[in-house]
Structure 1
């Protein structure tokens, strides 16, 4: 553990103007506040924040960040408050400490919700000051280094999984590859101990049997480049054990079949020398086709710049070579932290963290903890492709991204209005996976909107969040509309006139904010007709049985306005029910009855139309619904249970389509009237089994 004077000397070495007294006071403060607290290793607890501060000095960060690292656990784990921190160390440090501190109010939440809320706060704090992220990553790295001291294996695995899924990719997304690799290695050891032991054992065996082969190859590369007139530094290493394991898993191959276990790094003085070195290497050894990547001309979104190539060395050995300048190397290893001094001058590389803005944008669209965690994992996913607009603008997307993902990455409005696309000039389906270098043109529609079915193929968090937000808003509007219709039906059947005063009284009795909240509650089946009637006029529904509004329909259909001796049928295209506005289309003595808004009426000669209405004695017809169920066990049973609970008889049930996520059914049900059918749709939409329900 760093002693007090050692930490101060480290900071003063790269920042002579640092406030030595303030640093000393912060060190003493954390020691005093953590007192006799112990870590699982048995070390004093304050050793952890001191080591995190030491990691920050390795990155040469400013004194406020060093002090934040020293204090980052005081508010969470001691009696200190944010107000105490602000009083002693200033508002900037207090804000940074608050950004890193976990929310105490969520400690009783389920594990996934607690993780989601911590991430939400971290991302919001990151959007205001990225130093929060740097301290958080150093905090997680040191915790991973001491993870083996935790005796509970389940807890170790949970922390390792969270590190692998969130924090290691997050480190990669801001270019801190040193942190990413060490986090992955430590998490891999906990999550796959047998695979870790096997791979590290094989690597040790290779080192012992092949002696200095890595050094020998590095020397040959340096000599070849020197003969080509390029001054370089060359270093070699074996591939990262987790990287080897992931490649084995993705390719379904054994360790012996991994041919490019060795990797070499070439550091030059200039960008021009990088390309000269590449030419020399390709002249000296054969390159492997398809393995060359130029991240200098097209950097990764986190600012990573380098040339990557794979060569066939002697005896058909494959080796990977990365070529970059010294400046690129520091940025590549420490990413955002390497740029902090420039950012403080106001000309920092804001573009490399532009993805953060998208992440912040979708935070408030997540409906629950699972969705937030899903968005976070998607937004920091590391494997990327490049695609272009027709005008040449470049966008980076995850592998597997589709034109819909591309459209939303360009602009949310473009994604929402997409109806088709061209990829490299050819019309293609919106679900087509994009390849590296594709030119994508999005075709817009004037009145189009995001479709629920897109969720089955989009892969970016921004697209998924926007689609879900649109679908939820559409469902909300439709639910409110249904609620309004049901409310008007209830009011029409009441024996007295219902005015604004009665409505305001009902809102107060039901503890609802406004009319819209009432319509949503009615439309989503949270309130029954009896509840609404009783709230409007207390005592008016006291004598009614619970099922008085939910009677099973009869099958008697009677119409007014029919010619004498005419026969009629209810159209199969729109399935009218009592309560719909209807019109008849005459064909000889036969009349076909349609709803007034049926699309097929536009194809009929309006001179054959007959104005019809329902006879009040009509008390039943068959409506047709299209219901999209989540594709999981028991959802079909839940749907039929909704019909049974609402006294509706199923006359037809057919499966239209099915994929991994959804199954779409057409369901014919006997209902009493339009209000009964509307209630049925409302009840379906309130079910967790149902993704979407509409009248056909």
Structure 2
């Protein structure tokens, strides 16, 4: 572990000065004279507040901040506001400066982005690895101002470039996150260079042997490859110059990761990958002449070399949704080798290099609309509270790397969808209600089913029916995140309606038989008929998959058993493990769930968020998939459950004698002393005779904070344990710990 408070060395000072000069050079033309004091103040804040502050890798925080700012300006193309925010991000994340202090020293534009960065920093400080619900919150923050994500992408890129300074576990965790979130995000935002570098660096640290092998092969073949590129380019240069065009032409070797993917997909060796490089022709021309000039260059290239018609890609007429515009073709070069040629203008090349940020310099260009629509879709999904976090991650990732197809409405409006999208995807893309009622479509004047996969240029007219309803197997047909999200929501609505109908049917039938449906009875029925949830139980009643007469027979049999048992008690015979006093039932009513020490009454589980133990005040909550969950009345989740799902709350209490084994968690704080953990363990094991499941202790500035998980018999036993631990010398406080 590096010393994070070590003073900056002379070499590091040189690196910081070099980085600062590079930043000033990259900022030339972006910042105005009035911005310089603010930028200097941002750097001064970093120096003052985090004088010896270092990253976990051991790198000086100021050097990291300067490099992020340089990437933001030079490689992404953002302006002075983002530059300042990049310099402040690290000191904010480490708590060296507050948002309030930033508000006092900087303008509203800076404050707005810093508020977003503060939310991201908070998520990372709570959990270094972004997963599940945090993933959703992270993207929601990104969706408010895209500059937030661009700065974080720059931060992750800088981290990847210095990954050799991290320990192995950190390298794997960071690579995993960059691979599943930040590289795809960079791709979607059009940052191809950053996306490619991230993927190469991920491979470098996760598949080192193959990375070194391909890098070595590329190095060995570099001379021959460069010679071939010169031979290929020479006649094109001559012809293009003769036509009076202003241009740059160069060869670009493909990334190690993309070469590896080709080897894997095509199942070939390195020597059999023919397209190791691409030729790029960049034209200097006016905006209104761009298309014509690109097609003119295409004509010159294909006159000189034989093209492969199936490999023509026209992203001039309809750009990709991330703003990418270019004309790609593959031609047969010298020695009968296929070569990819990319043709674009200077403006298109800047957008391809710097993605979304470059759009702000070219307002009004139609390619900008695709990104705006994508961000709108992201916000729409994020703001839907019904979407499960894990489902959201899967659905979101669907739309990050997909290629696209372009189709038309009957009125001629262009719609852009991921490659592989179906008629059903198209219907949901127009409107969720049209998607729900879709029965098919007419494509190019021919009838097709909802499973039809769209092709470029299709003209699509959706057909609907008022009798149509969404079906579960539609999830196997749709491929876009928008359609999946809307479809899952519609299916849940249908299921809830079905369940309510089933409940009403059962209540009505039981009422005719002079029987009452209580929550306790529901739990018994779900357990007896072997259903996973109450929801499934009521749905099957609604769909006539479960006969209500069978339910009646079960209830009457249970009543008969209870009657016989009561008679045997009155006759003085033993009824072991059955404790239901008449006066208690009269006091609590028939709807109280009775929980005995054997946890065997009904199909329920003890909630893990609050770990109730015998003696706690409790209540039951009827869950969708796991029967009834027992919570403490002071559970942190209780207010939310009662507010949102009051109709699923079941009164409950413990019955019978204390006993059993319950897991309880305690939070202990005190002085950081060598023998403190031993003393706590001795009290638990020897003095109380209890079993410890786990004990975790963390210390900071002479204070320790630990969590202790232990099995107890009841609440009284737990209270005694807490008193004994609190009496240990050096312990400040002991409290019940809830794993919310």
TM-score w.r.t. structure 1 length? 0.68
Aligned counterpart in structure 2 of residue 219 of structure 1, from 234, 246, 252 = 234
Q: CA deviation at 1:224?
A: 3.2
Query: 1:379–1:460: 8 Å Cα contact kept in structure 2?
Result: yes
| Mapped partners of 2:525, 2:510: distance in 1 | 13
Aligned partner of 2:374 in structure 1 is 355
Aligned partner of 1:190 in structure 2 is 205
Per-residue CA shift, 1:100-119, capped at 9, x if unaligned? 3355765697887x434444
Flag the 1:316–1:579 CA change in 2: closer, same or farther, 3 A.
same
Flag the 1:175–1:616 CA change in 2: closer, same or farther, 3 A.
closer
Q: CA deviation at 1:236?
A: 0.7
Flag the 1:278–1:103 CA change in 2: closer, same or farther, 3 A.
closer
Q: CA deviation at 1:618?
A: 10
Q: CA deviation at 1:385?
A: 2.4
| Mapped partners of 1:164, 1:298: distance in 2 | 29
| Mapped partners of 2:213, 2:545: distance in 1 | 66
Residue 395 (str. 1) matches residue 415 (str. 2): yes
Per-residue CA shift, 1:658-695, capped at 9, x if unaligned? xxxxxxxxxxxxxxxxxxxxxxxx9996679xxxxxxx
SS of 2:416's partner is strand
| Mapped partners of 2:395, 2:55: distance in 1 | 33
Residue 273 (str. 1) matches residue 314 (str. 2): no
Aligned partner of 2:443 in structure 1 is 423
Aligned partner of 1:407 in structure 2 is 427
Flag the 1:552–1:254 CA change in 2: closer, same or farther, 3 A.
closer
In structure 2, runs of 5+ residues without a counterpart are: 1-14, 531-542, 559-600, 604-621, 629-740
Flag the 1:684–1:32 CA change in 2: closer, same or farther, 3 A.
closer
Aligned partner of 1:91 in structure 2 is 108
Q: CA deviation at 1:78?
A: 2.0
Per-residue CA shift, 1:309-363, capped at 9, x if unaligned? 01101111111101111111111211211123456x9999344331111111111
Residue 203 (str. 1) matches residue 223 (str. 2): no
SS of 1:172's partner is helix
Aligned length: 532
| Mapped partners of 1:340, 1:552: distance in 2 | 62
| Mapped partners of 2:45, 2:136: distance in 1 | 28
SS of 2:311's partner is coil
Give the RMSD, CA atoms, in angstroms. 3.8
| Mapped partners of 2:107, 2:62: distance in 1 | 21
Aligned partner of 2:475 in structure 1 is 455
Query: 1:164–1:187: 8 Å Cα contact kept in structure 2?
Result: yes
SS of 2:113's partner is helix
Query: 1:147–1:156: 8 Å Cα contact kept in structure 2?
Result: yes
* Of 14-23 and 466-475, the range deviating more from structure 2: 14-23
Residue 70 (str. 1) matches residue 76 (str. 2): no
How do 1:97-136 residues align onto structure 2 when only pairs under 5 Å count? 97-102=114-119, 114-136=130-152
* Of 223-232 and 328-337, the range deviating more from structure 2: 223-232
Residue 328 (str. 1) matches residue 348 (str. 2): yes
Residue 283 (str. 1) matches residue 299 (str. 2): no
Aligned partner of 1:249 in structure 2 is 264
Q: CA deviation at 1:5?
A: 6.7
Aligned partner of 1:145 in structure 2 is 161
Q: CA deviation at 1:49?
A: 1.5
How do 1:239-638 residues align onto structure 2 when only pairs under 5 Å count? 239-270=254-285, 271=290, 272-342=292-362, 349-365=368-384, 367-484=387-504, 527-529=519-521, 577-578=547-548
| Mapped partners of 1:284, 1:48: distance in 2 | 49
Flag the 1:77–1:312 CA change in 2: closer, same or farther, 3 A.
same
Per-residue CA shift, 1:353-405, capped at 9, x if unaligned? 31111111111446433222212212322422223323332222222222112
| Mapped partners of 1:387, 1:133: distance in 2 | 31
Residue 158 (str. 1) matches residue 150 (str. 2): no
Residue 49 (str. 1) matches residue 65 (str. 2): yes
How do 1:226-237 residues align onto structure 2 when only pairs under 5 Å count? 226-237=241-252
Flag the 1:576–1:332 CA change in 2: closer, same or farther, 3 A.
closer
| Mapped partners of 2:461, 2:102: distance in 1 | 53
| Mapped partners of 1:342, 1:441: distance in 2 | 34
| Mapped partners of 2:484, 2:50: distance in 1 | 43
Query: 2:322–2:367: 8 Å Cα contact kept in structure 1?
Result: no
TM-score w.r.t. structure 2 length? 0.65
Query: 2:65–2:88: 8 Å Cα contact kept in structure 1?
Result: yes
Flag the 1:82–1:423 CA change in 2: closer, same or farther, 3 A.
same
Flag the 1:158–1:433 CA change in 2: closer, same or farther, 3 A.
farther
Flag the 1:316–1:89 CA change in 2: closer, same or farther, 3 A.
same
